[in-house]
Amino acid sequence: MKQKWLFIGDSITDSGRNQDSERLGYGYVRMIRDEILKKDAVEIINKGVSGDRITDLEERWSRDVLSVQPDVVSISIGINDVWRQLDHPEMDQIMPHDFKKIYEELVEKVGSLGAKCILMEPTIIEERIDSIGNQKLLPYVEIVRQLAVKYDAILVPTHIAFIEELKKDQGTLTTDGVHMTETGNQLMAKIWLETCVDKLL
């Protein structure tokens, strides 16, 4: 029986999945699926939704994760929790304390399924290491790292990988400072595969 690997997050994970007949989208999730097909039989499920913050994941967790009964849950969230502080300061904001509390509850629910949890660090906000977005993102990245240790989850160091690429100043990783170019998606897929596959298959 095929294992079910479920990816959930925001637009970076969504990547146009509703316009794709396979419902995988055109980003890093598809790239991971294409590579996994060469190795083993795994069903890849994309549950990314554009614009999502951690509170949105919380609202749909039972429907989109728990009811699916996946064997692996890969979570990529946090960018919009910070970006909304910059582009929509009038909104109710999700500060690090609340982000951690909700995220922890979601990871615990994955554990109750007996599924393996994979936590992806939030990537970047603007392609400048010292941007306000990247500075505000740091506490959220640290929370993801702490939760990975606490719950024995696999940590995918996507933030570190993107920062290292920015230091090289070669190519463009995003279309607008957040959403991935082909190069950005390839980097996400590469780091995920290198970190996770040997631990899952």
Which residues are tagged catalytic?
11, 176, 179
Let me know: does 27 contact 75? Beta carbons within 8 Å.
no
Give the Å distances, CA to CA, from 48 to 41, 75, 191, 201.
22, 9, 19, 23
For residue 127, give the 3-state DSSP assignment.
Answer: coil
Q: Indicate the DSSP class of residue 32.
A: H
Give the Å distances, CA to CA, from 101 to 7, 17, 92, 104.
21, 29, 16, 5
Residue keyed to tokens 């502080």: 85
